């Protein structure tokens, strides 16, 4: 039996993952999941692959190649299509980046993914007969585009033939979809967008409803009739998208949202039936999906076949995105275990802060990630209750700490996000100072150890780590007070991650870590008596940072 690990899973992983879920894994034994926080202003947990928050939208976690693989669209470049990346984890806690599933910059791919659908809603299934992983993406009509690979996480090549769908009348197009393998048989659930319903109304822009169909044995096409998932003839069912498929007991389930367009909260719909032919029953299990949109359900089989499987629901939390625009790499993800009633219906989603839930599952076979951000000498911590803020250039930030080791300071890093191709710019200084009082002392000059500048060409909308190399074999000693200054020189907001340790106030003599802020142009005393310094202390807070001493 492995020792238990306590860690966050959700909204936080992101490149921002979000509500605030954590998981306790006992290897093969029971795991406990404290529930997610329902509001974006509450601190998320953010597991990160070597410091970078996971940039995944419309993604899915599946068990592929004996491990947990999270794959999804990147939006950090600020375009409609930036690529499809994957991350692997042995425990849904430590995530390792695998890079792109295929090169997004080739002419054929950039042309394909500029089509309607933008290669969106990627789904991967494995065919045990052909021993190939099949990647389905949404890229215009007809049907869906396919890629195959011998590896679940790389090397995908596009097939010439598309997978067609059984129902696609004139004026319609396949939209969001999901593919799944259940008892060795492949299934497709897709929303059919009906553009003939487009009119002059403010909303909805069109109608769409879900169909379900079986896949051919090689999983490269559909076969047989497509069955309409339409329990009632109302607008909820005619505005259904982002489906996913799973089976529990006798029932097939399809989770879906209403038409949302990366919005900050939508209805979570669950359809269930004992046959893909129907009849289907519908539930609305959440009115706003905790501020997000559903992306899928991970089936966690019980270890060694003992006990019931666990179904882990995943959603994109666009309500946590600090940057504007519907496609942003800086948003959270929420995870919550689905519960079921005795009639096999799904219990309503619970967005309350204090709910807990449990599950049992096996670890995957991938290794844990590694790198400077993970094995840093000093840091704010890779797994902590972070939330995203966009306070630069409104404020200059000064994050300070006390070195725990003596040696050469090699590198300092922090997370940064901003809108690409703008006037945004950031000046960074790594420095050494003597005591906290220096920040309140006029004309104090720190010792500069390194500098760097980040402009529009260096920015991503995802919260990626920026690494500053400290040259010249700069030696620091245990107990030295160090800091990193972040100062924006333009008007475009820049974003970063902040944790509130909740440890009370700031002591000017004894506090060894502090986050100081300075408002724009505030460079002199203020106050009625002319003795209030322009520097403020964000008590108990620190940005996400690390430092490496060798």
Q: Is the dihedral of CA 530, 535, 536, 537 positive or negative?
A: negative
Q: Residue 347 has what DSSP assignment?
A: P
Domain residue ranges in the chain: 22-360, 378-549
Tokens standing for 69? 């693989």
Q: Is the dihedral of CA 318, 14, 420, 514 positive or negative?
A: positive
Band of the pLDDT at 332, cuts 50, 70, 90? confident
Asked if 156 and 134 touch (Cβ cutoff 8 Å), the reply is no
Band of the pLDDT at 283, cuts 50, 70, 90? very high
User: Mind listing the pLDDT tens digit for each residue in 481-523?
Assistant: 999 999 987 777 889 999 988 777 889 999 999 999 999 889 9
User: Mind listing the pLDDT tens digit for each residue in 149-180?
Assistant: 999 999 999 999 999 999 999 999 999 999 99
Q: Point out the least confidently predicted range of 91-100, 199-208, 356-365, 378-387.
A: 356-365
What pLDDT score was predicted for residue 29? Answer: 30
Cβ-proximal residues to 318 (8 Å cutoff; 6+ apart), any chain = 262, 263, 264, 265, 291, 292, 293, 326, 328, 331
The separation between CA 447 and the C-alpha centre of its own chain, rounded to angstroms, equals 38
What pLDDT score was predicted for residue 32? Answer: 32
Asked if 150 and 133 touch (Cβ cutoff 8 Å), the reply is yes
Q: Which residues are bridge partners to 173 per DSSP?
A: 193
**Superfamily, domain 22-360:** Glycosyl hydrolase domain; family 43 (2.115.10.20)
Band of the pLDDT at 184, cuts 50, 70, 90? very high
CA–CA separation, 32 and 6 (whole Å): 9
User: DSSP H helical segments within 185-343, as ranges?
Assistant: none
Taking Cα atoms as reference points, which of 377, 523, 362 lies closest to residue 439?
Answer: 523
Taking Cα atoms as reference points, which of 394, 387, 352, 389 lies closest to residue 501?
Answer: 387
User: Mind listing the pLDDT tens digit for each residue in 17-74?
Assistant: 333 333 333 333 333 333 332 223 333 344 566 788 889 999 999 999 999 999 999 9
CA–CA separation, 472 and 11 (whole Å): 39
């Amino acid at each position: 039996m492995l020792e238990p690990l306590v860690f966050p899973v959700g909204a936080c992983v992101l490149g921002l993952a979000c509500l605030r879920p954590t998981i306790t894994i006992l290897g093969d034994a029971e795991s406990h999941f404290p529930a997610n926080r329902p509001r974006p202003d509450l601190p998320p947990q953010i597991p990160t692959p070597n410091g970078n928050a996971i940039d995944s939208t419309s993604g899915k976690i599946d068990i592929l190649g004996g491990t947990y693989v999270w794959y999804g669209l990147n939006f950090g470049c600020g375009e409609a299509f930036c690529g499809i990346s994957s991350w692997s984890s042995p425990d849904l806690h430590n995530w390792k980046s695998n890079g792109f599933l295929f090169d997004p910059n080739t002419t054929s791919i950039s042309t394909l993914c500029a089509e309607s659908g933008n290669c969106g809603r990627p789904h991967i299934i494995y065919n045990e007969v052909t021993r190939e992983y099949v990647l389905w993406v949404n890229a215009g009509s007809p049907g869906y585009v396919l890629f195959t690979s011998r590896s679940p996480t790389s090397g995908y090549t596009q097939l010439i033939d598309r997978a067609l769908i059984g129902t696609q009348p004139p004026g319609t197009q396949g939209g969001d979809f999901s593919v799944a393998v259940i008892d060795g048989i492949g299934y497709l659930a897709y929303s059919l967008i009906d553009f003939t319903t487009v009119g002059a109304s403010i909303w909805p822009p069109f109608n769409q409803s879900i169909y379900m169909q079986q896949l051919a044995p090689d999983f490269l096409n559909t076969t047989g009739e497509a069955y309409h998932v339409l329990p009632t003839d109302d607008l909820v069912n005619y505005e259904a998208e982002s489906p996913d498929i799973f089976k529990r007991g006798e029932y097939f389930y399809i989770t879906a949202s209403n038409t949302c367009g990366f919005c900050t909260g939508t209805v979570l719909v669950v359809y269930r039936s004992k046959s893909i032919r129907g009849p289907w029953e519908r539930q609305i299990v959440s009115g706003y999906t905790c501020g997000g949109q559903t992306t899928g359900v991970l089936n966690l089989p019980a270890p060694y076949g003992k006990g019931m499987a666990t179904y882990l629901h995943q959603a994109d939390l666009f309500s946590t995105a600090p940057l504007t625009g519907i496609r942003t790499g800086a948003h959270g993800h929420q995870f919550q275990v689905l519960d079921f009633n005795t009639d096999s219906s799904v219990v309503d989603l619970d967005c309350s802060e204090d709910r807990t839930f449990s599950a049992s599952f096996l670890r995957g076979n991938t290794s844990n990630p590694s790198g400077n951000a993970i094995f840093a000498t000093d840091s704010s911590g890779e797994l902590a209750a972070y939330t995203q803020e966009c306070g630069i250039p409104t404020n200059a930030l000064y994050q300070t700490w006390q070195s725990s080791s003596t040696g050469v300071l090699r590198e300092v890093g922090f997370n940064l996000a901003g809108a690409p191709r703008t006037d945004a710019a950031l000046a960074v200084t790594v420095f050494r100072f003597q005591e906290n009082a220096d920040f309140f002392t006029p004309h104090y000059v720190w010792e500069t150890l390194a500098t760097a500048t980040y402009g529009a060409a260096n920015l991503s909308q995802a919260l990626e780590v920026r690494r500053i190399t400290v040259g010249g074999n700069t030696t620091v000693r245990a107990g030295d007070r160090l800091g990193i200054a972040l100062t924006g020189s333009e008007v475009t907001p820049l974003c970063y991650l902040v944790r509130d340790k909740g440890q009370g106030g700031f002591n000017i003599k004894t506090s060894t870590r502090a986050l100081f802020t300075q408002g724009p142009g505030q460079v002199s005393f203020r106050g009625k008596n002319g003795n209030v310094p322009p520097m403020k202390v964000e008590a108990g807070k620190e940005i996400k940072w690390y430092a490496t001493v060798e």
